Amino acid sequence: MLRAQHACGLRNDCGMPTLSTLHAAVDPLKRVLPSWLWLPLRAIGTAILTPIQFSLGTGHLRSSLTMSSVSRAGKPIPWYTYPCIDFLATRSMAGKHVLEFGTGNSTLWWADKAERVLGFESDPTWRDRLLAYGLRNVTIRLVPEDQGKGIEIVRRAIAETGVHFDVVIIDGLWRRDLIDVAIEVVRKTGIIICDNAEGYGFYEGFAGRGFSRVDFFGNAPGVLLPHCTSIFFREDAWVFDEKERVPIARPA
């Protein structure tokens, strides 16, 4: 049975003033102004500063202007929702093997954190662009857009690695039809990340397959409307280790 939970990200190192510095800055005003004046001013300040802080701090503004998924510093990040990115960034990926269906800036992000990344891509231009980075721990296999031939190539290429993966991402190609492949090759303690999880038949495809689910609903880099990135997992999934402390700040 699927269990759905909703999670949100916390951030205070995004280049904007932290909560403590804001308190220190406005505390003198709070002490000298009457409440009838201070409270409306605080409400107006909150209404103005919050979207600015979010846009600048997350890199959403920069992503929108560059039409690319990047952090506030311009570094590549996945095109998942920010809550999911924030959550994954708190987990150590050392020694982990990652499989991506659909590549992009997320490939570069995973390559910086994980042991190995195997990606499948149908766009040769995008594949060549990523390979130009010369990342030694990244392999990208080109597959045809034809679903039948493509999935056959995917299965054969994965079998050649002899690896089961700690992280499998379905964020492109034939999403619904890759669910079976993902379940076959993910480790028992691994996770399957599905972006745009509210569509593509993910709910139906995982139903009754022995996976639980956490939904990370929110905005994504350079995207106007919120959507959902979901993590499907079995019991004892490594990212949900109960020994992990609850993060109190957005990781760098």
Tally of CB atoms within 10 A around 29: 13
CA distance 228 to 231: 10
Alpha-carbon distance 231 to 221, whole Å? 18
The 10s digit of each residue's pLDDT in 1-41 is 343 444 444 444 444 455 566 667 777 877 888 888 888 88
**SS3 (DSSP) at 43:** helix
pTM equals 0.87
Class of domain 74-240: alpha beta
Residue 67, both tokens: 């039409």
pLDDT score of 163: 93
Residue 22 pLDDT? 67
- Could you say which residues of the chain have pLDDT below 50? 1-16, 251-252
What residues does each domain of the chain span?
19-63, 74-240
